[in-house]
Structure 1
């Protein structure tokens, strides 16, 4: 009996590993090269490319919570995830046939519409599973970081050999494969009674939850916006395009080991201590970049992304799920993702662009430092709220 149970756990973990690897392999192969395709192959202007690339976070602000609500209302997150993966792959494939700017705007919005469901719903399923099976979310999620890092090299090499259009074909194939594995992910073991309006209303009336959404906006917004500005920062210091690729490889690859050990660190130090530590390390990184160190130091400090992102993601997701009522956890995770991936990313990218026009890219990182500092202070305030609630609970007990 125990042997059969261990085999089932091993199979489920393998499905999660392959799922995350494929999803992030697809993302890592498409989005870093999409702006190059739009500029060099299609011939769009910089402003047009920037507008197309900024559509995704704007759409995610509104659509990510909607997908979470659909998953909670239907109680079929696995089905929603499978269908949206197929939709994302299909829209990505059609990207290769578009030539007009207006059509790119429409197709980019459609891509973001379907894609915005993938990470929050899959993370919600994974967290639900590891909590029941006493597993390690970070040990599963790290394969996403590995998939992203591997795809930067593999798809980049394929694009050099076969042309940039291949990024869309690889993206479509990989996401359809991911959909097959999504259908093999664990189902919910029970049906929950959902009163969506009442439960969501309860969620937004939770002070700690809303404060943490704001902290996520301040901390994760710069982390996502860094993907747009880091290449400019490196080339501005005299780095090459090859150096840019290696920097992204080191940064994304460094997340994996930290995700693996995040669970044990959370148990030893506590979720909010880990959130404070990871956000403080992000603050150190952005502040360092503001002072324009040498390229050697910049390359060496890419590992700080492992400390910050690799620890923040597992800890933040666990904190959100622990705070949220059971029957609106997918909605809570989607709101959290919308604040970081969506609103935070758009805000930091947009204001960063305005600063870049007037000043330098190092000024942008100074702006990121200020936001992250406020996010750290807010996280510290939430930690004190938790401490006060615990003391009050012990007194009443």
Structure 2
């Protein structure tokens, strides 16, 4: 016990909390549609139901930010984590039929949604007080955590059925909460809510920014096919649960080197050029899904996730920073989160659910591959031209 207490000190507590928090996300997020299909849901129902968490994030997260500012981030984090774990554990018993299932998804989303943004904010406060700690080096551990959750879910689903995704999600959240109870109290580095839309109107005149956000939203809609319907696609092509879990694990692990590659690229070239790589990489990834019918080949395709997700997100953050005046950068980043994780995920789930009701997932991937290719080609002028002030240089990340 003394040895464990010695290991889980300082930065290691944050690493463990990130590991298990993302393991919880990896347990339910990729497999929710698989569970819905097991309950006999049609494609349209799957699309609407799986869009609920992202709609909740878009609408409810600002209120969690306000509550966190008034009641304390740490208190809100503990409450949300425990409530989400309890709702995950109860989900298989309570979710019966379309309406009750939708209600339960809404409830767990209300409490699960703020867990990671609050953890981000708490970690940024910690890093501000400890020069040897960096947010990126602590957040890094979320990627292998997501892979762990997805891999373990794939293995256990074969034996215990798809209900196991919710039990694992609950267990991982509790494992994340335990070391978080020993977090030191910190003075907030910033007082803004994590997803504040305050003074949003100030940026609405920036046409380049708005066009860019539209591009990001469309790419997010297309990426929803691989983010939320990959398990459905793999079942369609005959993959076992263990192969599916392995593929999703590779998806998460492939992100790791690109945290460092992105930092190097963004020091050497403009964010727009990195975004071009990510967007056309997304079109290629979706095309490969369309052309492929071998479950084991998906494991290789998933290795592109570092290009299509990590490069896309980190370069998008830098692009927005370059386009928004310094005093409005928090608002700019809020818009980016809203368009990618909110609007893109909601519209993507609904659109893909409707398409899947009328065609195989392979064909859906082919349609979205063409869409991303067209959007990427049309936005070349936007991404290649000079982006104004030089963006912030991303700090080097270290694992220790």
**TM-score tier (shorter):** 0.7 to 0.9
The 3 A distance-change label for structure 1 pair 35 and 286 is closer
Q: TM-score, normalised by structure 1?
A: 0.77
Aligned to 2:395: none
Q: 1:281, 1:307 within 8 Å by CA — same for their partners in 2? A: yes
The 5-angstrom pairing of residues 313-324 of structure 1 reads 313-320=313-320
- 2:356 is equivalent to residue 359 of structure 1: no
Equivalent residue number for residue 100 of structure 1:
96
Unaligned runs of 5+ residues in structure 1 are 1-9, 392-397
Shift in Å, 1:38: 5.2
Deviation at 1:308, TM superposition (A): 1.4
Distance in 2, matches of 1:75 and 1:267, equals 39
Q: Distance in 2 between matches of 1:234 and 1:104?
A: 24
Distance 1:310 1:189, change over 3 A: closer
The superposition leaves residues 1-59 of structure 1 with CA deviations (integer Å, 9 ceiling, x where unpaired) of xxxxxxxxx9654343222211111111233444555555xx45446555433322333
The answer to whether residue 85 in structure 2 is matched with residue 89 in structure 1 is yes
2:394 corresponds in structure 1 to: none
Superposition TM-score, scaled by structure 2 size: 0.76
- 1:389 — aligned with what? 388
Instruction: Give the 5 Å matches for 1:58-77.
Output: 58-68=55-65, 74=70, 77=73
In structure 2, the CA distance between the partners of 1:92 and 1:192, relative to structure 1 (3 Å rule), is closer
The within-5 A match list for 1:240-259 is: 240-259=240-259
Q: Which residue of 2 aligns with 1:14?
A: 12
* One of 112, 116, 136 as aligned partner of 2:113: 116
Q: Does 1:168 align with 2:166?
A: yes
Q: Write out per-residue CA displacement over residues 238-282 of structure 1, whole angstroms, 9 at most, x where no aligned residue.
A: 444433222222222211222243223322233332222122211
Distance 2:220 2:116 in 1: 15
Judged with a 3 Å threshold, the aligned counterparts in structure 2 of structure 1 residues 28 and 197 are, in CA distance, closer, same or farther, namely closer
- Quick one: distance in 2 between partners of 1:60 and 1:368? 24
Q: Superposition RMSD on alpha carbons, in Å?
A: 3.8
Say which structure is richer in helix.
1
Structure 2: runs of 5+ lacking an equivalent: 1-7, 391-400
Cα distance between partner residues in 1 of 2:156 and 2:295: 28
Residue 19 of structure 2 is aligned to residue 26 of structure 1: no
Q: Name which of structure 1's ranges 142-151 and 49-58 shifts more when overlaid on structure 2.
A: 49-58
Residue deviations 1:170-209 (CA, integer Å, cap 9, x gap)? 423432443455573864336679xx77633224444344
Question: How many pairs were matched up?
Answer: 376
Shift in CA distance, 23/333, structure 1 to aligned 2, threshold 3 Å: farther
Change (3 A) 1:74 1:98: same
Instruction: After TM superposition, list the pairs within 5 Å mapping 1:1-397 onto structure 2.
Output: 13-37=11-35, 40=38, 43-46=39-42, 51-68=48-65, 74=70, 77-101=73-97, 102-123=99-120, 133=131, 138-158=136-156, 165-179=163-177, 184=183, 187-189=187-189, 199-292=199-292, 297-320=297-320, 332-377=332-377, 380-384=380-384, 387=386, 389-390=388-389
C-alpha change, 1:86 and 1:218, in structure 2 (3 Å) is same
How many angstroms does 1:151 deviate by? 1.6
SS at match of 1:348: helix
Distance 1:224 1:206, change over 3 A: same
